[in-house]
Amino acid sequence: MSECTGSTATSSQFVSLDEGRLIVAAPFLATLKSAGLDSFERVMAFTGGETKRDFPGRRTVRLEAREANGVTRGFYLKRYQPGYLSAGRRWLRRLGWPSAQDEAMREWNGLQRISALGLRIPVPVAFGQQRSGGVVSHSFLITAEVAGGLEGDRHLRSLPRKERGPFLKRVAALTRTLHGSGWVHKDLYLSHVLVAPSATDPGAAGAQLVLIDLQRVMKPCCWLERWRVKDLSALAYSALKSGAGPRELLAAFLVYQGTPRLEPEGRRLVRQVLKRVAWLKTRTPRHDKDFEQLK
């Protein structure tokens, strides 16, 4: 197996509903009840909201709900159905293969673990699962919307040339923290780093970087360099597609490496990243909407 596993301990911050099929962060319990989303069936049957992503077995919608203070807030709901898994993936899940386990659960746990590293993530709201034959067949995850958040690739394209390098260095520092703690994202395109305005510093330098779409995040037990190369290649590819130049990427890479210049080990890693970037340019995506937007 290629991943270290473990469970996130349930604390008093979370409330269990619907005979354990639904876990809710306590501050959002009243909000979900008022929206009629306080049971597993109701969440899975929800028909409102704005569809953001929809392909076989997985659908993501944005919805709004009124909080106790009367303020309407946005949320994102991801739902997984049996059609999301191929026959091979279903067998791997039944065998307990870590990377084939329920993505809603993986993201729920990943949000809390990545937050513990000091990185910003969407606020986890609720998570639910239903099993069939001892294996998860249906699941969902709800997170709070990142107010004012803009995808990193779109943000990069909007920046003046002189501000692109500093932004990429901040993304590199975020990635250094993630990888330095043994974690990998596995889908780390710039579109999965949201740029959100800061209440105390509205300028570009004060913008918050929020790591999203953590359903595949893991802490590998082996082949760690392979997964780091995958993350770095996704960042480099999407940055190049969004207007970054080689010098800006090199400066960001040095921040990631924590060195003032390229050492032999760094050169070797760069060659691996460039090789994968070249492959990404030839790829025909099936379901990766973010990748398609970069083509």
The tokens for 126 are: 């609720």
45 confidence band (pLDDT: 50, 70, 90):
very high
Q: What angle do CA 212, 216, 218 make, to 5 degrees?
A: 105
Q: Is the pLDDT of residue 71 over 80?
A: yes
Rounded distance between C-alpha atoms, residue 245 and residue 51, angstroms:
34
| Amino acid 4: pLDDT | 42
Cβ proximity of 106 and 124 under 8 Å: no
| Amino acid 200: pLDDT | 53
The tokens for 67 are: 């909080």
Question: Over pLDDT 70: what percentage of the chain?
Answer: 88
10 confidence band (pLDDT: 50, 70, 90):
very low
The tokens for 75 are: 């949320």
At a CB cut-off of 8 Å and minimum separation 6, what does 158 contact?
Answer: 150
The tokens for 47 are: 């028909």
Strand 124-132 relative to strand 50-55: parallel, antiparallel, unpaired? unpaired
| Amino acid 55: pLDDT | 83
The Cα-based distances of 63 to 59, 143, 164 in angstroms read 13, 10, 33
CATH architecture of the region 150-294? Orthogonal Bundle (1.10)
Q: What's the rounded mean pLDDT across residues 248-273? A: 95
| Amino acid 258: pLDDT | 95
Q: Is the pLDDT of residue 274 over 80?
A: yes
Q: What's the rounded mean pLDDT across residues 66-70? A: 85
What does the domain layout of the chain look like in residue ranges? 14-144, 150-294
pTM of the model: 0.87
Grouping H, G, I as helix, E, B as strand and the rest as coil, residue 72 is: strand
Q: Is the pLDDT of residue 189 over 50?
A: yes
Q: Is the pLDDT of residue 240 over 90?
A: yes
| CA Rg value for the chain | 20
Question: Over pLDDT 90: what percentage of the chain?
Answer: 69
Single-letter amino acid code for the residue at 278: A
Q: Is the pLDDT of residue 2 over 50?
A: no
Q: What angle do CA 176, 287, 100 make, to 5 degrees?
A: 65
